[in-house]
Amino acid sequence: MKRKRKRNKGRKGNRSFTERAGYTNRHHNFAKCRGHNDSIQNLIIMDVRRHQAFHLLFGVRTFEEAARLLLRVSRAKENQKQ
């Protein structure tokens, strides 16, 4: 007879997904291809899925450039409605 496995629903303790799964990447705040370096001030640790999604959506833009782009798109959509 097979035993049913109990599924733990919800968060496991106070650890984040990346801490539980261990899948992280180093993301450069300012891209190396734009002449920046690997200094600790230029790196942020992100989980793999978010890192891939960021680059899929925004390429090599910085967080600030991506935010400005999203604001521009949002304003353009608001102006279309008027």
| Residue 12 falls inside a structural domain | no
Q: How many domains does the chain have?
A: 1
Domain that holds residue 60: 22-81
| Residue 31 falls inside a structural domain | yes
Q: Residues near 4 by Cβ (< 8 Å), separated by ≥ 6?
A: none
| Residue 60 falls inside a structural domain | yes
| Residue 38 falls inside a structural domain | yes
Give the residue ranges of DSSP H helices in 1-62: 17-21, 48-58
pLDDT tens per residue across span 12-61? 555 665 555 668 888 888 888 888 888 888 888 888 888 889 999 999 99
Is the whole model's pTM more than 0.75, yes or no?
no
